[in-house]
Structure formats: C-alpha cells, structure tokens
C-alpha cells in the first residue's frame, strides 16, 4: 500500500479533529484514496492535554520545525492560528517543497497574496477549504464546479457566532448582551468576541472568496465592515412585520471593473433560503451566469465539520502526489498572470434598499420634515410605518425605501439627525431583495 | 497556449448550452485553466436546427463515429440521451482511450457497473456531475469533499418537474392534473411525463448517489419507487395544518450491512430547509459522521445550469490531462476492489413515522375499530384528527403515528380497507423528521 506522510502543526480543537479522522477512518480513506495517509508528526506546545487520541510513541512533539523540516513528510497541515508563526511555518514548508493545508483565514486575508505567490513560484499546492464556511465546499465549488461561470454575486452567512446571536435575539426577543453571554457559555463565542461580532472574521472570509470568484488580488482593507452589536430587538421585530429577517451577511457583486464587497447586518425576505439558516449554521448563495443561483449550507465551525474540510484538502493534495499531478488547479482559481487588481467599491457608491428607524417627537409635521430631507437627497420612500405610540415621549417612525445610493442616504440621515424633533441617532439597515429593480 | 480538443455527441438543449459556454466564455476558461478548450467536432442528426451558435465550417456533422474515432479529440461529451446508442458510443470512446463526460443518469443507473468497469480497466476517466441534481455539485461533494466521512444518510429533492407540480398544488390548491398541464405548457414537463412523475428519473439519480456514498455497486432495481400522481390537495392541506410540506424525496440511510434507498412523496417539517425548496429547484442534505448535515441547492435541470456542470467535468478531465494525472479519483468514489454488493432493504423492513387518511362513515365506534387494528399491529398513534364533517357521507379521519414498521403498516391498512365502515382506499404518506427517535 502506498503511503503519504502528513505532519500536523498545532493540535488544538480542529487539529485534534483532523487527527481523529485520519486515525479512526483509516479504512474508509484507504478504500477511497488507494493509499494510507499516515499522521507522522504532530507538533503542539501542550503535550499533556487530553485529546482523546492515542498517538504512537514519538509522534506528538513540541518543536514545529521538526515537522516542517522532516524530509519524509509530504503534506504539512497548519492549525496554529494567529498570523506570525503560522506565516513563517507555511513559508518554510513551501520553501521545503511541501504541500500545505491551512484553515487560517486571518492569515490568508492579510498575507495571502505573498503566500500564494511563493507557493506558485515553488510549484507547491496550498489548500484552504476549511478557511471559509467550515465544511461547506465553497472553495471547491468556486475553483472547480463554477469554472465555466462568470460569478455575478455571492451572498452568505459566514459567521456562526453572529448567526447564533441574531437567531437567539429573533427567537426570544432578548438583547444582544444576553444572546452573547449565552453564546459564550455554550462555547459558540470567544471570551473576547470582537473578532466575530464586529464582523472582521466574516470579512477575512469574504476577502478570500472575492479573490477566487473574480480573479482579483486578496483585498481585506477595502471591505466595508459593520458588526451586529447595535442590532436592537425592536428592529428585528419590525423586520419580521415586513417579512424580513436580519442576518449578518457578506454581500459581493461583480460589476466587472469594480466589485462590491461588504459585511453588515442585512434584512432578507422570508422566502430567501438564507433567512431560514439559523443557529451556528453557515450558508452562501453564489450566482453565476450559467448556473443561476446555487446555495451551500453546513456547519461553519466546530471541531469535526472543520476537520472534515481539512481532511478533504489533505486527500486532494495526496491524490495529486499519487497521480503525479503538478499545479493541477491554480491556487487562487485563476492562473497567476490573470489575477488583476480589481477595486472594491467604496460603500458610498453602492445602491440598495434601506430600512430606517427614527425616534421622533410625536408632533404634527414631523413626517413631512423627515420625508422632505429624504426627497431632497433623491431617496424615494416605499412605505412609512408609525408604530407603538408613546404618550409624551418619542415614537419610532419606520421607513422602507426604493433603491437609493448610500452616499445620499448618509447625507440625508446626518441632516435628519440634527433635527430638534429627532431624539436618537437614526437606525439604518440595508435590505437585500432577490428582485432589486425598483 | 496548450489545447484540449473536445468532441460533443448530441447537440440538443444541454449540448447547445455546453457549446455556448465553451465558445462564449473562452477567455474566462483560458484564465482559469491555462489552456484552450476547443470544441472540435459536434455530431447531431439535426444539422439545420437553429441553436443560436455559429460553428466553424466542418465542426457540426451528423456522424457520431467521426467524433468518437477522431484521434485528435481528447474528451468526448455524450449528450445523446437514451440507453442504447449512448452506451455504445461511450464504450467505443473508452475503448479508444478517450476521457468521457456524460449527464445520462438513465444509462448510468442501468449500465453503470459495466461502463465504469470498462473505464477503470482502460484507465480512462468518466465524469458525470450533471447526471444528478443539474448544477448542484453533489457528485464532487460526495467523491471529494466528504472523502473523510462515513455518509450516514442522504435526503433530497432531485426532480424539478415533480417539485414544480407539488409546489403548485400546495400554493394554489389545484389538482395534480392542472399542475401537470401547467408544467407541460411552461416546458418543465415532457409530453409523456411518466419518467418524472412516476419517480423513475429520481430513482436513477438515487442509484448513482448510493453507489458513490457507500461504496456499493449501482443497484436501480431494488430501489422502492412511488410517484406523485396520487397526491391529493386535501393531503397537502392536512400536511400544512400539522406543520409539514409534501415533497417527492429520495431517502437513503446507511445501516452498514444494508442501506435504505427509496423514492416517495414524503412529509417534512417547515423548519427543514428542504421544505422551503420550491419550483423547479433541487436540493439534497447529506449527513456524514464528521460534517453533520450539509445541504446543496440549485437548478436541477435547464439548459445552462446543466451545461455548467458538464463544463466543470470537461475542465476536470482537461486538468488531469494537462497536469499528467492518471486515475486521480476513483470513478465511483471508492477504489474498484473496495466496491461491495450492499443490499438495499426491502420497503417492508423500513421504520418511519406515518400519516394515514381514512375515509370512514360518520358513525360511533369507527375510531375504535380502526385504532384497534393499528394497535394489533403494534402501530402506536401519536394523534388523531377528524376534520370537515360531511353530513351523511364519509368523513376524513387523519392519524399521525409514532415510528412503525412498514410491513406492519401495510398489513394493518389492508385490514382496515376491508372494513365496511371505510369507503376509499386508505392514504399513506411517510413522514421524515430530523428527530425520529419517538
């Protein structure tokens, strides 16, 4: 039986899952690959932790260099996380001519252009399915299944923590804080949750996907990011009344010479499958010129689902080695010389539907002043709703708009915020309809 | 620029879509593959039909042999359909050492074991992504993304015609006949719709998937098949009252030494994403031991979506040729020597929840006689509903059961059918819950 030697750096939650699959599903993998994948070395600074795995003597070590530099190892799996050590280890593995698997989205979003260039230069494969959407095969779908399509748009839920929190607020009417504590106590959110709830983790994933979909360099910095910490139960309730749910979405659209790439809480209609994706699940709709819409759905995180995606990458690389395939698929989906610098549109330039909520004094003329300012900025109102009158205090005025330009919306909202009849800062939530013509 | 020559046999709807993508998205494919895919010969008996495509002089011919035997052609794409000529053409292409792409599920379900054995023997690749689920990458997902998983179950909607008809009955309360005529007039159903509405087309696809998922020979004959032509609007209404929708599902479960593989109308709860898959769309949930549930969704038919899947297969094979990869992935997901004959369980042996509707005379004692017979056969009733009394005539009595064995259910229902208080034949619809413990 042929053998492929695998070295694992970092044996935390996902790393342990990878080790478990390789060691427990050995027969299955042999029956499918026609070779044995041997976990030859595992490096982790914590050798004592109980992982529920019995490694053979000498497999579990502390020195990562002994993995990356081992001449017998064919494939290096980087599961350290972080951006410094992981980058150095991956570059060293590439330099050593090894095939590499990683799930490190933060690293790829920040240093991917360099890393992929190095790998391509050395003719080394670097697989990263688990970096986006956990076990959903979104990277394989973009690089392989949609190869004949011009990707027109991608809209998805790519952060399980945020989706859990928003589902919980929606189901139970609790506050963001309560939902976050619950997520933390159930292990769905970190002690420091900002990477998730502020949207940066989601943006890392979107940066990778836009590159693969459109053949552009990875560009994290120009992605517009808004997190979920300001979402009020009241807005979720109003959304429901209008037939929408609020999700933290990645939205990316291809305008050929520029693309949209943004991460923000968004209202989507009930009949959009994404609105029915609840709890910690992830999902993404990709629209191509030939396929129309396709949607992928699955666990976006968690030990075994993420490990499953890592193992599929290991097998892909093993199959390349076993069949003698070199550079079979370009790393970033397009041949290196076809990857362009395509600009991401500033948020001011996008156009979409909007939901506004104003806290206004309950006086005659309020509506006319607010709608007047909106009209001055070419924002056309689709409907106005004044709900739950408060005697004496302020009342919420909710508006849904036709398609408007973000720059106009921002100007109008700053003017409205200055009105003496408006108390709190106006709330703005973008709406994504399948049919955005009007 | 490197070139891969493609020959197309059969240029009907999907074939024309393939030609269009190859000829219109040439730049895109070159940027991604690093080579040109040249459509060198297209064989179709109808040369005059307007396909909206301008083939170069000499490309469109009538003689398929001139394609299959052309020594310059690397990849043969079979789009003829049917089972006789297509089988001969594919076997001849394999014999000629060519890589083959097909979307012909009927052929693979009936003759796949022979064809795949021949291809493996010649070391030739045969790709068939478009044979199941149109553009959904379900075959790639099973063969590649889930390679480290034991597949535990697959539940899906794989026939767009049936899903359109059931969605229409559900939305409009019309009869099966009306919905079918509408589907025919909109081009979603054939003039002879039996292959679709009787469930055989769906079974073809399930036969292919069970083979890939569990490493077993393709076995069409033992799949239990029930079509949708007997579904009454009344049952769809009752289903809705209980929180279910009725879909024509493929259901397959892995019991290790035997598998379930069945096609029948099934009730699924609203909160199952599959229940929200409407119109001509397809979707499938695959459950693996590591990934948990993943779901794929997309157009299951139609010119361009299906053509997109065919093109992804052509590119996969082209990439193998260009990178020198031979037999990179086993055709049926498992190495040939690991493919077993795993039996499909007879329908009598499955256990599930049931919905029954009896038309009974409105007399005292009716319920006790029916439930007595069910009890005698160890069928435990979860709830009973007697709705819409008819004066003088018969009334519908609806029952939902706990998990029961099909053999017991059939015996009980035949006994009940013989009761003088029961008028019509009892209606049986199986229910699929995520949580089937009780």
CATH number at residue A410: 3.30.70.260
Q: Give residue A427's pLDDT.
A: 96
Residue in A152, A168, A205, A253 annotated catalytic = A205
Q: Tell me, yes or no, whether B336 lies in a domain.
A: no
Beta bridge partners, A401, equal A381
Q: Give residue B392's pLDDT.
A: 59
Q: Give B-chain residues touching A37 at CB under 8 angstroms.
A: none
Judge: A312–B276 Cβ closer than 8 Å, yes or no. no
Q: Give residue A224's pLDDT.
A: 98
Q: What is the CATH number of the domain that holds B221?
A: 3.30.360.10
Helices (H), B186-230: 194-197, 200-214
Q: Quick check: helix, strand or coil at residue B207?
A: helix
| Same domain, yes or no: B157 and B229 | yes
Judge: B129–A140 Cβ closer than 8 Å, yes or no. no
Which of A179, B173, B108, B275 has the alpha carbon at shortest distance from B116? B108
| Same domain, yes or no: B294 and B161 | yes
Q: What is the CATH number of the domain that holds A127?
A: 3.40.50.720
Q: Which residues contact A112 (CB under 8 A, 6 or more apart)?
A: A207, A208, A211, A218, A332
Q: Quick check: helix, strand or coil at residue A5?
A: strand
Tokens encoding B328: 């990179």
| Same domain, yes or no: B167 and B213 | yes
| Same domain, yes or no: B62 and B113 | yes
B152 is catalytic: no
Q: Tell me, yes or no, whether A284 lies in a domain.
A: yes
* Contact by Cβ (8 Å): B307, B14: yes
Q: Tell me, yes or no, whether B437 lies in a domain.
A: no
Q: Give B-chain residues touching A295 at CB under 8 angstroms.
A: 283, 295-298
Q: Tell me, yes or no, whether B341 lies in a domain.
A: no
Q: Quick check: helix, strand or coil at residue B232?
A: coil
* Contact by Cβ (8 Å): A96, A9: no
Q: Give residue B316's pLDDT.
A: 98
Nearest-Cα distance to chain A for B267, in Å, is 18
| Same domain, yes or no: B244 and B309 | no
Q: Give B-chain residues touching A275 at CB under 8 angstroms.
A: none
> In B317-420, where do the E strands start and end?
351-361, 381-386, 394-401, 404-405
Which of A250, A236, A214, A229 has the alpha carbon at shortest distance from A179? A229
Q: Give the number of A-B residue pairs with CB atoms closer than 8 Å.
A: 228
| Same domain, yes or no: B79 and B152 | no
Q: Tell me, yes or no, whether A376 lies in a domain.
A: yes
* Contact by Cβ (8 Å): B430, B352: yes
| Same domain, yes or no: B364 and B397 | yes
Nearest to A288 among B292, B308, B324 (CB): B308
Nearest to A147 among B32, B330, B335 (CB): B32
| Same domain, yes or no: B83 and B66 | yes
A residues 400..429 contacting B (CB < 8 A): none
CA dist., res. A385 & res. A19, Å (int): 56
Instruction: Enter the pTM of the model.
Output: 0.96
Helices (H), B70-159: 85-95, 105-122, 138-140
* Contact by Cβ (8 Å): B93, B122: no
Tokens encoding B206: 């399930």
pLDDT < 70 stretches in chain A: 388-392, 434-438
With b meaning 16 or more CB within 10 Å and e meaning fewer, what string describes A388-397?
eeeeeebbbb
Given CB atoms, is B27 within the 8 Å cutoff of chain A? no
* Contact by Cβ (8 Å): B436, B353: yes
A residues 199..228 contacting B (CB < 8 A): 215
Q: Tell me, yes or no, whether A436 lies in a domain.
A: no
The ipTM value here is 0.96
Residue with tokens 């001969």: B88
| Same domain, yes or no: B211 and B87 | no
Give me the half-sphere count of Cα atoms (radius 13 Å) on the Cβ side of residue B265: 24
**Can you give the pLDDT of all 438 residues of chain B as single tens digits?**
899 999 999 999 999 999 999 999 999 999 999 999 999 999 999 988 899 999 999 999 999 999 999 999 999 999 999 999 999 999 999 999 999 999 999 999 999 999 999 999 999 999 999 999 999 999 999 999 999 999 999 999 999 999 999 999 999 999 999 999 999 999 899 889 999 999 999 999 999 999 999 999 999 999 999 999 999 999 999 999 999 999 999 999 999 999 999 999 999 999 999 999 999 999 999 999 999 999 999 999 899 999 999 999 999 999 999 999 988 999 999 999 999 999 999 999 999 999 999 999 888 889 999 999 999 999 999 999 987 666 557 899 999 999 999 999 999 999 999 999 998 899 999 999 865 555
Q: Tell me, yes or no, whether A420 lies in a domain.
A: yes
Q: Which of A278, A290, A299, A304 should one mutate to test binding to chain B, selecting the residue with the greatest count of B CBs within 10 A?
A: A290
Nearest to A312 among B145, B299, B319 (CB): B145
Which of A346, A421, A356 has the alpha carbon at shortest distance from A384? A356
A residues 275..314 contacting B (CB < 8 A): 276-277, 283, 288-299, 302, 304-305, 307-309, 311-312
Q: Which of A24, A36, A148 should one mutate to test binding to chain B, selecting the residue with the greatest count of B CBs within 10 A?
A: A148
User: Could you list the residue range(s) of the whole structural domain that residue A19 is in?
Assistant: 2-133+303-338
| Same domain, yes or no: B38 and B86 | yes
| Same domain, yes or no: B142 and B282 | yes
| Same domain, yes or no: A162 and A289 | yes
Q: Tell me, yes or no, whether A438 lies in a domain.
A: no
Residue in B98, B152, B168, B205 annotated catalytic = B205
Q: How many domains does chain B have?
A: 3
- The phi and psi torsions of B218 (rounded to 5 degrees) equal -70, 130
């Amino acid at each position: 039986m042929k053998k492929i030697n695998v070295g694992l750096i970092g044996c935390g939650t996902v790393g342990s899952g990878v080790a478990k699959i390789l060691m427990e599903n050995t027969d299955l993998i042999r029956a499918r690959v026609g070779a044995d994948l041997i976990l030859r070395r595992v490096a982790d600074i914590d050798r004592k932790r109980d992982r529920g795995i019995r490694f053979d003597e000498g497999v579990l070590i502390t020195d990562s260099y002994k993995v990356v530099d081992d001449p017998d190892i064919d494939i290096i799996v980087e599961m350290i996380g972080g951006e410094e050590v992981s980058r150095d280890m991956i570059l060293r593995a590439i330099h050593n001519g090894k095939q590499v698997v990683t799930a490190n989205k933060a690293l790829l979003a920040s240093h991917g252009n360099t890393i992929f260039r190095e790998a391509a230069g050395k003719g080394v494969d670097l697989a990263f399915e688990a970096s986006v959407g956990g076990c959903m095969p979104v990277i394989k779908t973009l690089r392989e299944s949609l190869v004949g399509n011009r990707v027109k748009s991608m809209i998805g839920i790519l952060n399980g923590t945020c989706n859990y929190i928003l589902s919980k607020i929606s189901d139970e009417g609790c506050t963001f804080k309560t939902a976050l504590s619950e997520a933390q106590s159930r292990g769905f959110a970190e002690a420091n949750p900002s990477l998730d709830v502020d949207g940066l983790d989601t943006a890392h994933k979107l940066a990778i996907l836009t590159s693969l979909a459109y053949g552009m360099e990875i560009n994290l910095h120009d992605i517009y990011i808004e997190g979920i910490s300001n979402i009020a139960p009241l807005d979720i309730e109003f959304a429901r009344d209008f037939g929408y749910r609020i999700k933290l979405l990645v939205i990316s659209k291809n305008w050929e010479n520029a693309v949209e790439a943004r991460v923000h809480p968004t209202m989507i209609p009930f009949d959009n499958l994404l609105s029915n994706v609840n709890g910690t699940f992830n999902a993404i709709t990709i629209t191509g010129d030939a396929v129309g819409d396709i949607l992928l759905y699955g666990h976006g995180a968690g030990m075994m689902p993420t490990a499953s995606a890592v193992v599929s990458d290991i097998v892909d690389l093993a199959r390349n080695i076993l069949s003698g395939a070199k550079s079979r698929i370009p790393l970033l989906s397009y041949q290196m010389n076809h990857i362009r610098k395509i600009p991401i549109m500033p948020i001011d330039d996008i156009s979409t539907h909007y939901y506004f909520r104003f806290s206004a004094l309950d006086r005659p003329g309020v509506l006319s002043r607010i709608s007047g300012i909106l009209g001055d900025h070419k924002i056309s109102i689709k409907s106005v709703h004044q709900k739950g009158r408060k005697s004496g205090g302020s009342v919420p005025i909710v508006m849904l708009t036709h398609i408007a330009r973000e720059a106009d919306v921002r100007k109008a909202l700053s003017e409205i915020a200055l009105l003496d009849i408006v108390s709190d800062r106006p709330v703005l939530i973008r709406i994504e309809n399948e049919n955005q013509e009007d």
